[in-house]
Structure formats: structure tokens, C-alpha cells
Structure 1
Amino acid sequence: MGVYWAIAVRSFRRFSTYRIATLSGAFTNTVFGFIFCGVYLTLWEQRPNLGGYDVTDALTFVWLQQGLLVPIGIFGARTTVELGERVRTGEIAVDLYRPTHLMLWWLSMDAGRAAFELLARGGVPLLVGSLVFDLRFPSSPLQGFAVGVALAFGILVSFGIRYLVALSGFWITDSRGLEGLALVLSLFFSGTILPLVVFPGWFGEFARATPWAATMQVPIDVWLGQNLPARALAFQLGWIVVLLLIGRLATVLATRKVVIQGG
């Protein structure tokens, strides 16, 4: 495991070099936080307790959402985008020659990236939002611990989805079209546009059962106390097992299929 830890550390250092981009991103997330707050305040003024959220919950959701977009990889992440590009160009052959497991290598890369983004960008929008609005925070150390685990699980679920999309290039030649579809699904079903709790009936139940819900909606609900930690973590863990097992199978099948595009 030492080699994977080293990979994660080097990935953390790599992303920490992009200081101006990180500051610009945090500023952009903060601006969008205020825009979303205006929209949510109008919506919750018309529909108090919409989806079981009060106004404080809704505003807290906004600032947590803006802080977690990049660490979780809702818009995709540079690490898995690079993996998809290496599959497309044939450079993945170099990765397959390494005496490491392909999925664990890229998981370590993504873990280092996510750790840096969480530390550097995750807390800035929340800090700014808490200075302007009355937000909700975990009420006990146990709840705070559950939030930390839920965040880690959310990143793992996100990686599992993004890894499968990247590996699809072994069969469909170019994964960029599927990346675009995955982005749309991620934006809608993760809670980026609206909290999934506002969707009623069978559609709401379906949305909250998807793996994308486990990436951001579930960790935020644990933070807000809207979901029992044990049930929430079990839901995330179930999707982690499913996605990583499929990822393992896809890796085995991919290594048997040599497809080199332009490399």
C-alpha cells in the first residue's frame, strides 16, 4: 500500500501548485453561492419547508454544495479526464506495464486531488456564507465524524462512476461523448441544480436511489441531520461496492482488449 500512498501524496502536491486557479475557483463558487441563495430564498419564501428543509437548511445546502462541487468531481475531475485521454491515445499501454493495479493507481491519484481540493476550496464558500447567513452545523462530534466518512464515501462513489466512463473508451473508441452525458446526469441527480428532496413521488425516490445522489446529496443530508448516518453510509457503501466491482471487472476485460488510437 506504500506505493499508492506515495501516489496520493504526489497527486496532492501536483494540484497544490495551481494556486491562482484554486483561488479563482473558490471565488467563483462563492459568487455562485450568493446567486443560488437569492434563488433559494425566493423559492422557500413561496414554499416553506419544501422537501423537509427549512430556510436555514436550504441556505446551508447552497454553501456546502458550492464547496463540494470540485472535491467530489461533480463536473468531472482532471485525473479521470486524463485517464480517458490516455485510453483514447493509447498511452494507457504505459499504465498497464506498471507493476500496480490500474484502478488503484488512478484511485490514489484522485484521492490526492480530492484531498487538496477539499482543504483548499471546500471550506472557503462555507466560511463566507456563514459570515453572511445563519447556517446549520453538525451538533455533535459524532455527527461531524459521520459527515467526514460520508464525504469520503461520496468521493469514492464519484470516482467509481468517472472511472467506468473513462474506461469506456476501450469499447466506444472515444469516451468524451459519454463524459458529456455523465456530466448532465451528475448535475441533475447529485443535487447540484436543486436538492433531491424537493422532487416528489416516484421520481424523487428514483433520484435519491441513484449513485449520483450518494456523491453530494447524502453527505449534505448527514450534515443537516436529515438522514440517519447509519442508513446514509450503508447506502453509499452499497454503491461503492457495486461500482468498484464493476470497475474491477471492466479493468480485467480492458486489459484483454488492446485498442490504440493514434498512439
Structure 2
Amino acid sequence: MRIFLLLVRAGFRRHSTYRLALVAGLTTNSVFGMIRASVLLAAIASAGSAIGGYSGPMAAAFVWWGQALLGTVNLWGFQEVKERVRTGDIAVDFLRPLDPQLVYLAGDVGRAGINFVARGVPALLIGALLFDLAWPPGPAAWLVGAASVGLAVVVGFAGSFIVNLVSFWVIEVRGIQLVWTVVAGLFCGLYVPVPWFPGWLRTIADWSPFPAMLQHPIDILCGRLVGADVGLTLANQVLWAVVLLGLGQVVMRAGRRHLEVQGG
């Protein structure tokens, strides 16, 4: 655990050096937050009532929590593991005494931390100044919401890690990563809330890991889920985190047996 925390801190410090990127991300998130919130509020106003359990304040909170978590949860994937497989440097990771998946997870947790502090919190404050937002109903809901965000980070990392590992067998995985990004953006609730989907499409989303990456923590933090529904939602996130991390281990070990590195 001590080594894991040290790696988390290293990931936090590493990504905190990109200050202009953090400011640019905050600016982009805020602009798109205003556009998305206006569109969803217009839809609810035209319907004359809540849609899918979302009132106006809940819909605004959905948008701004989503913008706050956009840089925190790794929806867009990462390239580092893929590049290390391509160059053969992944062999060095296998020779180290720490599990590579754990090392990269720790770095991603640190990245998530700096993005939430530097991009997420300011974006959420901007949203609170401009719109009437629904908030978690009490201290317990805040704590559960924080745990849900942490699980979302793990699920997002685990899925992207598996996509990177495909590079053990495929020369170029950018197409696969693009498909992952598009599908994840749709089914995680990035564009519109998953409860707004048609029934058949919502069923597909509910049986996928993607809502655990964004929709679930937002529903808890905006107060849409209460009581037993919160526990079921957390259980779903834990399940997907365990499944994807376990699958990542299986794929990584298969790739390790398949790996050949030549050179001097």
C-alpha cells in the first residue's frame, strides 16, 4: 500500500506539470457545460415535467458533475502501455517486482486526482454560479458519491488498459481505441443521461460497464438515486471493477507469453 500511494503521488505530480493543459481543459469543460445544460433544460421545459426522473436542477447537476468528472475518469483512454508494447519497453515492466497493472493504475489514480482538483472542482463551481444545481442530500451521500467516483476511475482505467494490451497481437490499435471511445461516450451518459435512452438501448447500456464510468456516480451526486438503489449501483461498479481488472490480468499474462523482444 505504501508503494501504491507513492506511485499515486508521482502520478499526481507528473500530470500537475501540464498547467496550461489543465487550464485549457477547464475552459473547454465550462463552455460545453453551459451549452449542454441549456439544451437539457430546454428539453425538460418543453416536456413540461421531469424526464427519466431528472428535474431541471438534477439535469443541470448531471451536466456539471459530468463536466467535472470528464478529466477525472479516463473516458478517452491512454497510449502509454500500447507504446511500450510497440517499442518492447514493456519487457522492462515485466522484470520489475511490481505488477504492471497495479503500477499503471496508481499513476492513473494520481492523474485523476490532479484533474479533479484543477479542472473538476472549478468547473463545478462555475456551474453552481450559473445554474440551479441539485446536490447530494446529506454528508453520507457525499461520501458514497466520492467512493463511486473512485470506482469509476478504476473501471475506466481497467477498460482502457485491456484495449492497450490488444497491441500484443495487433500492430495498430488506434482504430480499436477510437471505437472504445465512441461507444464509451455514448453508453456512459456523456451526451445524455442513460435513463433517457429508448428501452432497448438502455438495456444494452445497463449490461455494459460504461454507466459505471460516469452515469452511476453522477446519479448519486445529483441525488437521483437514494436508499437501496445507491447500494445496488455501488455493487454494480465493484463488480465491473473486479471483472475488468481480472480480465486485464488474464490478457496481460497471455500477452507476456506471446511477447518477443529482439535487439541489443
Shorter-chain TM-score bucket reads over 0.9
State the distance in 2 between where 1:262 and 1:192 align.
Answer: 44
Q: Which amino acid aligns with 2:35?
A: I
Give me the CA root mean square deviation: 1.6
Deviation at 1:259, TM superposition (A): 4.2
State the distance in 1 between where 2:201 and 2:134 align.
Answer: 28
Counterpart residue number, 2:23: 23
Instruction: Give CA-to-partner distance per residue, 1:169-210, whole Å, 9 cap, x none.
Output: 001222221111100111101111111010131321221331
Deviation at 1:84, TM superposition (A): 1.4
SS of residue matched to 1:191: coil
State the distance in 1 between where 2:142 and 2:263 align.
Answer: 48
| Alignment CA distance shift 1:46-1:177 (3 Å) | same
State the distance in 2 between where 1:143 and 1:124 align.
Answer: 21
SS of residue matched to 2:79: helix
Q: Which amino acid aligns with 2:199?
A: G
Counterpart residue number, 1:232: 233
Say if 2:58 and 2:222, in contact at 8 Å, map to a contact too: yes
State the distance in 1 between where 2:105 and 2:185 align.
Answer: 22
Instruction: Give CA-to-partner distance per residue, 1:22-54, whole Å, 9 cap, x none.
Output: 111101100111111221122112223111111
Q: Which amino acid aligns with 2:259?
A: V
Counterpart residue number, 1:182: 180
State the distance in 1 between where 2:262 and 2:37 align.
Answer: 46
Counterpart residue number, 1:93: 91
The alignment-based identity, stated in percent, is 37
Deviation at 1:3, TM superposition (A): 2.2
Instruction: Give CA-to-partner distance per residue, 1:229-261, whole Å, 9 cap, x none.
Output: 211100101111111110111111111111459
**Structure 1 outlier segments of 4+, above 6 Å:** none
Counterpart residue number, 1:82: 80
Counterpart residue number, 1:215: 213
Say if 1:89 and 1:262, in contact at 8 Å, map to a contact too: no
Say if 2:135 and 2:223, in contact at 8 Å, map to a contact too: no
State the distance in 2 between where 1:250 and 1:196 align.
Answer: 30
Q: Which amino acid aligns with 2:71?
A: V
**Unaligned ranges ≥5, structure 2:** none
Say if 2:58 and 2:133, in contact at 8 Å, map to a contact too: yes
| Number of residue pairs the alignment of both structures matches | 260
TM-score when normalising by structure 1 = 0.94
State the distance in 2 between where 1:45 and 1:106 align.
Answer: 44
Counterpart residue number, 1:65: 66
SS of residue matched to 1:72: coil
Deviation at 1:20, TM superposition (A): 1.4
**Unaligned ranges ≥5, structure 1:** none
State the distance in 1 between where 2:233 and 2:263 align.
Answer: 44
Counterpart residue number, 1:5: 5
Q: Which amino acid aligns with 2:221?
A: W
